[in-house]
Amino acid sequence: MRYGTTTTTAAILMALMAAVPLTAGAADTAAKAKEQAQTTTQEAKTMVTDSWVTSKTKIALFADERVKGRQVSVDTTKGVVHLRGKVDSAEAKSAAGDVAQGIEGVKSVKNDLQVVTPAARQAVDANDKDIAKAVETRFGKDSQLKKVDVRTDSGVVTLTGQVATIDASAKASEMARGVPGVKSVKNELAFAK
């Protein structure tokens, strides 16, 4: 019987030794899965936080008497608040920046508000709509640029969204600059991976 016990013990030891690398591999796989889960969780928290910051900023702008909240567009990316739109005065622009900076979770504020007096606003708004429509029409004829978002504020065209390559991004800027009335182009396009 000793021979059978020794053989059984040897077989068990061999099986355990063979399983050790598998166990180590499983530990690596588990560690990678845990790391991926943490990354995904962090990305979700960032998105929730950015949405929360945007909402809180909008609410605060509507509550502040110095700023007409409906005139200000708010976007947040990774804690950076981006203010766009047209306000009546330099004081309103400054106040909007101060309000946004005071929101918990804001890392910085990019204040691209345009100061346009109420008297000039109607003409500027009408012209901006025409410019945006002309840029969108040009982009609609190019399959790479059909999904680019166009925003125009006082003749400044902002391009957002995703394109396939840097060449497509450069082409979008060039096409937008060619539209009459465009003062400058802010290209904020991201590249698809």
pLDDT in tens, 10-48: 666 666 666 655 555 556 666 776 676 666 666 655 555
Between the two ends of the chain, the Cα-to-Cα distance in Å is 65
pLDDT value of residue 160: 92
Domain for residue 157, yes or no? yes
Task: Compute CA 168 distance to the chain's CA centroid, rounded to the nearest angstrom.
Answer: 19
* pLDDT > 70 in the chain, percent: 72
What's the rounded Cα separation, in Å, for the pair 97 and 60? 11
Domain for residue 143, yes or no? yes
How many folded domains does the chain comprise?
Answer: 1
Distances (CA, A) of 44 to 37, 39, 81, 82: 10, 9, 18, 20
DSSP code, position 173: H
Q: CB-hemisphere CA count at 13 Å for 149?
A: 7
Judged against a pLDDT cut of 60, whether residue 3 lies above it is answered with no
pLDDT value of residue 128: 87
Judged against a pLDDT cut of 90, whether residue 120 lies above it is answered with no
Domain for residue 109, yes or no? no
pLDDT value of residue 86: 86
Owning domain of residue 128: 117-193
pLDDT value of residue 122: 63
Structure tokens at 72: 């200000």
pLDDT value of residue 149: 93
Domain for residue 152, yes or no? yes
Check which CATH number belongs to the domain holding 140 and give it. Answer: 3.30.1340.30
The average confidence (pLDDT) of the chain is 82
pLDDT in tens, 47-89: 558 889 999 999 999 888 888 878 888 989 899 999 988 888 9
pLDDT in tens, 86-119: 888 999 999 999 999 999 989 999 999 988 877 6
Domain for residue 185, yes or no? yes
Q: Region 114-125: what's the mean pLDDT?
A: 73
pLDDT value of residue 169: 92
Domain for residue 30, yes or no? no
Domain for residue 129, yes or no? yes
Judged against a pLDDT cut of 50, whether residue 185 lies above it is answered with yes
pLDDT value of residue 6: 65
Tokens 């290209």 correspond to 187
Q: Where residue 155 falls among pLDDT bands split at 50, 70, 90? A: confident
What's the rounded Cα separation, in Å, for the pair 12 and 2? 15
Domain for residue 10, yes or no? no
pLDDT value of residue 1: 47
